[in-house]
Amino acid sequence: MNSNIEGIDGQPGNFKLHIRRKPRYVNAAKCTGCGACAQHCPVEAIDSYNVGMGVAPGIFVEYQQSVPLIYTINREVCIGCGLCAEYCEANALDYSQVEVKDTLEVGAVILATGAETFDTEPLTEYGYGKFKNVVTSIEFERILSASGPFRGLILRPSDGTEPHSIAFLQCVGSRSLVKGNEYCSSACCMYAVKESVVAKEHIHDLDISIFYMDIRAHGKDFDKYVDRAKKSGINFIRSRISKIKENKDNNDLLITFEAEDGELTTKELGLVVLSHGLCPPSSSQELSEKLGFDLDRFGFCKTGDFSPIKTSRPGIFVSGTFQGPKDIPETVMQSSGAAALSSELLSSERGSLIEKDELPPKINVVGLAPRIGVFVCNCGINIGGIVNVPEVAKYAETLEDVAFVDTNLFTCSQDTQEEIKKKIISYKLNRVVVASCTPRTHEPLFQDTCESAGLNRYLFSMANIRDQCSWVHMQTKKEATQKSKDLVRMAIAKARLLEPLEKLTFDLTKRVLVIGGGLAGMTASLHIAKQGYDVIIVERENKLGGNLGHIHYTPGGEDVQNHLSSLINNVSKESRISVYKNSEISEITGFIGNYKTRIKEKDSGVENEVEHGIIIVATGGVENKPSEYLYGKNKNVMTQSELEEKLAKNQAISNLDTVVMIQCVGSRDDEHPYCSRYCCTQAIKNALKLRKNYPNANIYVLYRDIRTYGTKEEFYNQARNDGVVFIHYDENSKPIVSESDGNVTVKVQDSLLKRDLVIPCDYLILSSGVVPQPDNDMYARMLKVPLNEDGFFLEAHMKLRPVDFATDGVFMCGICHSPKMIDETISQANAAVSRACTVLSKDFIQAEGTIAFVNKSKCSACGTCEAVCSFGAVKVVESKTRRGIERYAEVTEALCKGCGSCASSCRMSAIDIKGFANEDIAAMIEEF
């Protein structure tokens, strides 16, 4: 922490990284994070965590949940009074600390330095810094936050009252050639919609308007989120605001814009939020010089179209917003990808420098009365804003067997884990109940915390008072509080009956099955091989390449087919990769680390069985064939990729005078309510190519939103400069295409002019997007993984685990997850490699202890459990005993997922789930 980079020497595999460690003036080993020093510090400094909206003491932590929770003296404001040392009970202050230079010996470096937000003060037309009620979006995040300057209340900085109306101005400092950066910052449309949705949760009748040019909701499920926002009454107004004025009497803001009917309207707002963009960090120039890598023309780290993670210096990799503006899932994918590529370089040294974690001796709870610790979470304002958390905590104190109760702002934060551990030990707790969010987010974290205090991880129970309470009962706070008490009481009832359980250990086959031999599949396979593991690729077609076979050039002009050939070549040469072309999977059995798969060659019917430990799904997608606009009926109507084939082959297209492109054909409609993400860029790429080859052609692009996000914005600018005409149409008045004598005419209502334009054209190009593979359903059932509503594979968590499935041992990458561009597919494929390696690098697999078990004396061997089990984990077996032949159900522990289908179907109560026994659930119901 608190360190800066000085320089680097050496080569990939063997670098010496020179750093400078700034002093905290606090001994990190002694500081307990109690905060006594901060309480007595007489000096105030600008609170940078709250973006200047408030003050912080001269000795501080950034926020209460900081990791590490160690205080630091802000040297610039410290007056040297010595009060902090006087009040520190841990004797942790050390004024003698100095800056230390250090050298780290590393094999590779990953740059994840992030981005900074655009400084809006120079844009004087918006009045930021002058008008009190004009704030930036990051300031608004802090205003919304429970830990922010207004404790989660939306208040106007000028007078501390609630605003009656808020406006968001998009593209502040982005998409501008004159005032700011040329590129699109990628995340602002979505975060403004999110802030609006959250603001409306705070103040229900808040009048919110978002002023935008294009809504860039190109990510997975983003359009659905925006549609819900529109339905909730948030106004979306297509207009770029040029100036904000202030009403001096009440500090309201005045915005003038052209309304739907074409009239100039002035709106008075209580608060205006500037959606400012992302910029490369101010330290990037210095960092690039010190470490010897290149920046691109915008100041971001320079990477290639086909290598989005490698910097210009071998051995140094990049991920996240330093590579270009992007959202969190893309950052997470790219960072995992960087982990894969950097460790690939060093795969021979795996394990050489790691230290094993020592767990404390286990607490023996057998025979002891339950002593239950209850921790009730506020979850910021997610729970605390609806449920009366102190009241719930007080109630828990009155319940039998409860030895300790506490409330937390964020029970999942690192500092709270330390608190929980301390309380387990000091209060001799032998059961822990956390009342917070869904177990799906943090149950493993809390179980880890128990284990690190010596308590068996299965002596833990959760009450979901967020998703199942505060989130769904926002309007009825009293009832929500009562329900929370009920849920806590039920969780305590279960906790009393919990017994310690052990995890199971299995062997692991260090081989990966990759389903799909396209860009994602081949990229993942190559990099797994380079990590030192064997790979099997199953490809349905007769050749490798998938959809990449239909793409010829990138918007920047790179040759895609060239890259594809060398990729296929490398895969074929790699001895660790076996490829089964023209083949399909007939059956997959097993579980993480222990899969058996039968692969069938389609023509001969010959089956091969392979064993592997991990599965990577890379089945891609299919170009959508339109069912409208005369596609398939008129030979001059074609899709973008069909046009690209012609342009790539330099086939002269005769009579090319006028070309019309229609965007969002078969995307963002009722049948496919998602954005196919690449079509805007693809259309502009082809429009630019057309313009180059046919300088006098008239090219029209009919669009709903142009989504050339990130640095791709430069291609949109270039297209407009080159005379491509962009016409906006409303989703409720789609273009009408007709033909006469084979000649196509397009009629479209221009939403600005409110007039119909009739364009006779020689060629009509449809940007038809992508649809999921029709047989994703079959794979989903075979692999026991879910699909989302649109038919793409559903990941474990949309933001934080975009490559994992909830099922262990299976990962995904490429378009089968969601539509994406070439560089994004490569990033995600590398991410899948990294995630796979976290399993492959181990010596064994551990499975959960909460599995089924059979009480043979009760079992009537009826076979119901065997029939309902989706995992083939329980079978009725026969065994010979002294009494004769006995028949009973037997569980194959390795396959059991603990789903409970058997236990709930058994008429004899003979089969039950450890940790979720019938007795436990009966106790919970009785308590209620």
Under rule CB under 8 A, residue 660 binds another protein: no
In the complex with another protein, the residue whose CB is nearer, 473 or 685, is 473
The H-or-E segment that residue 560 falls in is helix 560-573
Q: Nearest approach, Cβ of 672 to another protein (angstroms)?
A: 17
In the complex with another protein, the residue whose CB is nearer, 10 or 556, is 10
Q: Nearest approach, Cβ of 526 to another protein (angstroms)?
A: 17
In the complex with another protein, the residue whose CB is nearer, 224 or 371, is 224
Phi/psi for 740 (5° steps) reads -150, 120
Under rule CB under 8 A, residue 814 binds another protein: no
List Cβ neighbours of 322 (8 Å cut-off, separation of 6 or more): 111, 112, 113, 114, 115, 280, 281, 284, 300, 301
Contacting another protein within 69-108 (CB under 8 A): 69-70, 72, 104-108
d(CA 469, CA 376): 13
Q: Is 459 within 8 Å of 365 (Cβ atoms)?
A: yes
List Cβ neighbours of 896 (8 Å cut-off, separation of 6 or more): 851, 852, 871, 873, 874
Under rule CB under 8 A, residue 3 binds another protein: yes
Three-class SS of residue 480? helix
With CB under 8 A as the contact rule, the residue among 85, 90, 207, 225 that binds another protein is 225
| Stretch of 330-338, 498-506, 614-622, 756-764 contacting another protein, by CB under 8 A | 330-338
Count of residues in contact with another protein, rule CB under 8 A: 96
Under rule CB under 8 A, residue 19 binds another protein: yes
d(CA 307, CA 341): 11
With CB under 8 A as the contact rule, the residue among 51, 599, 727, 852 that binds another protein is 51
Contacting another protein within 440-469 (CB under 8 A): 441
d(CA 370, CA 366): 10
Region of residue 710 (left: phi > 0; alpha: psi -120 to 50; beta: else): left
| Stretch of 219-227, 239-247, 503-511, 776-784 contacting another protein, by CB under 8 A | 219-227
List Cβ neighbours of 660 (8 Å cut-off, separation of 6 or more): 700, 701, 702, 746, 759, 761, 763, 764, 765
In the complex with another protein, the residue whose CB is nearer, 116 or 645, is 116
Cα–Cα distance list, 173 to 51, 120, 179, 187, 188 (Å): 18, 7, 6, 13, 11
Q: Nearest approach, Cβ of 845 to another protein (angstroms)?
A: 13
Q: Nearest approach, Cβ of 108 to another protein (angstroms)?
A: 5
d(CA 497, CA 919): 8
List Cβ neighbours of 523 (8 Å cut-off, separation of 6 or more): 567, 813, 825, 826, 829, 830
Contacting another protein within 825-884 (CB under 8 A): 834-835, 837-838, 841
In the complex with another protein, the residue whose CB is nearer, 235 or 841, is 841
Under rule CB under 8 A, residue 744 binds another protein: no
In the complex with another protein, the residue whose CB is nearer, 545 or 802, is 802
In the complex with another protein, the residue whose CB is nearer, 65 or 751, is 65
| Stretch of 2-10, 91-99, 246-254, 660-668 contacting another protein, by CB under 8 A | 2-10
Contacting another protein within 101-160 (CB under 8 A): 104-115, 117, 138, 141-142, 144-145, 148
In the complex with another protein, the residue whose CB is nearer, 65 or 846, is 65
In the complex with another protein, the residue whose CB is nearer, 247 or 838, is 838
With CB under 8 A as the contact rule, the residue among 126, 131, 222, 763 that binds another protein is 222
Q: Nearest approach, Cβ of 925 to another protein (angstroms)?
A: 30
Three-class SS of residue 595? strand
| Stretch of 155-163, 217-225, 604-612, 736-744 contacting another protein, by CB under 8 A | 217-225
Under rule CB under 8 A, residue 184 binds another protein: no
Q: Is 418 within 8 Å of 449 (Cβ atoms)?
A: no
In the complex with another protein, the residue whose CB is nearer, 214 or 539, is 214
Q: Nearest approach, Cβ of 507 to another protein (angstroms)?
A: 18
With CB under 8 A as the contact rule, the residue among 136, 336, 624, 640 that binds another protein is 336
Closest CA to 918 of 875, 878, 858: 858
In the complex with another protein, the residue whose CB is nearer, 113 or 667, is 113
| Stretch of 119-127, 339-347, 633-641, 673-681 contacting another protein, by CB under 8 A | 339-347
Contacting another protein within 407-446 (CB under 8 A): 410, 412-413, 441
In the complex with another protein, the residue whose CB is nearer, 382 or 681, is 382
Under rule CB under 8 A, residue 253 binds another protein: no
Under rule CB under 8 A, residue 342 binds another protein: yes
In the complex with another protein, the residue whose CB is nearer, 386 or 923, is 386
d(CA 392, CA 481): 7
Under rule CB under 8 A, residue 313 binds another protein: no
Copy the structure tokens of residue 788. Answer: 């989302």
Under rule CB under 8 A, residue 14 binds another protein: yes
Copy the structure tokens of residue 74. Answer: 């802000």
Q: Nearest approach, Cβ of 58 to another protein (angstroms)?
A: 13
In the complex with another protein, the residue whose CB is nearer, 75 or 243, is 75
With CB under 8 A as the contact rule, the residue among 98, 177, 178, 354 that binds another protein is 354
Under rule CB under 8 A, residue 339 binds another protein: yes
Under rule CB under 8 A, residue 63 binds another protein: yes
Under rule CB under 8 A, residue 292 binds another protein: no
Under rule CB under 8 A, residue 345 binds another protein: yes
Q: Is 613 within 8 Å of 753 (Cβ atoms)?
A: no
Contacting another protein within 527-586 (CB under 8 A): none
Under rule CB under 8 A, residue 370 binds another protein: no
Binding pattern for the stretch 378-397 against another protein, x by CB under 8 A and - elsewhere: -xx-x---------------
With CB under 8 A as the contact rule, the residue among 352, 655, 696, 881 that binds another protein is 352
Q: In DSSP terms, which residues pair with 510 in a beta bridge?
A: none
Q: How many CB atoms lie within 10 A of CB 892?
A: 15
Burial class of residue 695 in the structure, from the number of CB atoms within 10 Å of its CB (0-12 exposed, 13-18 middle, 19+ buried): exposed
| Stretch of 333-341, 535-543, 676-684, 714-722 contacting another protein, by CB under 8 A | 333-341
| Stretch of 185-193, 393-401, 546-554, 589-597 contacting another protein, by CB under 8 A | 185-193
The string over 70-89, giving b where at least 16 C-beta atoms fall within 10 Å of a residue's C-beta and e elsewhere, is: bbbbbeebbeeeebbbebbe
In the complex with another protein, the residue whose CB is nearer, 473 or 914, is 473
Binding pattern for the stretch 31-50 against another protein, x by CB under 8 A and - elsewhere: ------------------x-
Copy the structure tokens of residue 156. Answer: 């106007």
In the complex with another protein, the residue whose CB is nearer, 837 or 859, is 837
3-state SS of 212-226? ECCCCCCCCCHHHHH
Interhelix angle 640-648/679-693, rounded to 10 degrees, is 40
Closest CA to 518 of 646, 667, 626, 623: 623
d(CA 700, CA 680): 13
d(CA 663, CA 123): 33
The H-or-E segment that residue 763 falls in is strand 763-766
The H-or-E segment that residue 335 falls in is helix 328-345
In the complex with another protein, the residue whose CB is nearer, 349 or 730, is 349
With CB under 8 A as the contact rule, the residue among 46, 53, 55, 328 that binds another protein is 328
d(CA 484, CA 376): 10
The string over 10-30, giving b where at least 16 C-beta atoms fall within 10 Å of a residue's C-beta and e elsewhere, is: eeeeebebeeeeebbbbeeee
List Cβ neighbours of 454 (8 Å cut-off, separation of 6 or more): 359, 360, 361, 362, 363, 424, 425
